[in-house]
Amino acid sequence: MASSSASAALLSSLNLSSISPKSKLSQTLAFSSSPSLSFQSKSLRSSLSLRPSTSRRNGFVVRAGLPLVGNVAPDFEAEAVFDQEFINVKLSDYIGKKYVILFFYPLDFTFVCPTEITAFSDRHAEFDKINTEILGVSVDSVFSHLAWVQTDRKSGGLGDLNYPLISDVTKSISKAFNVLIEDQGIALRGLFIIDKEGVIQHSTINNLAIGRSVDETLRTLQALQFVQENPDEVCPAGWKPGEKSMKPDPKLSKEYFSAV
């Protein structure tokens, strides 16, 4: 009885009339309609933050945003290093021309990063063959990029690369793609596949200590290009060019399942 009385008292103390579909909670869910999907509500950004666990050695706060896959990639223009020269790169220049592999890495002159950057460079011809450009991005300056490119691989450098390294010193690109670790000022290992219409079709984000696979990036890109060229087909798990695809239909899909 005492518990029931306490509950009744608590309910009576609540002003339920103040709760409406236009409450503060619903107001936080108003987003910009621009392709960059920037948030209009700081309270929503705050509510979506992932708090670091005190039991983790590398705790940090990540501000989560709307999923970028399926939306137009945030455009940017920035300085980059290519062929040991400073150039300007504008993402929207590739629209209607090429697919883009856009990948972020934390910092120059580190450890996992050069293994990824050189792996993509060594296989650049395979991406170029299927009409795709690769762009690397970090928060370092173009001067740091240049110094790293001019350092021999055996000494932890990159040597000459077959694609541009973009400088995101303002961190605006990393923020736009929701990969910036705000309290550290560096980017997570985000990778985005952008189609010729400028739409992000795939993304992966690894933590700092985990390198990415060029093989899987290439395979996913090939699957994307296949389904765009064959809109009545879908690609099952692990699909590679030349393998059997599937019809996205309850009856027609049985042809695939009966053959595997």
Q: Active-site positions?
A: 113
Which residues have C-beta within 8 Å of that of residue 104, sequence separation ≥ 6?
136, 137, 138, 174, 177, 179, 187, 188, 189, 190, 191
Do 98 and 67 form a contact (C-beta atoms < 8 A)? no
Chain CA centroid to CA 35, Å? 15
Q: For residues 100 and 77, what is the distance between their CA atoms, to the nearest angstrom?
A: 15
Q: For residues 185 and 196, what is the distance between their CA atoms, to the nearest angstrom?
A: 30
The closest of 246, 105, 122 to 168, measured between CA atoms, is: 105
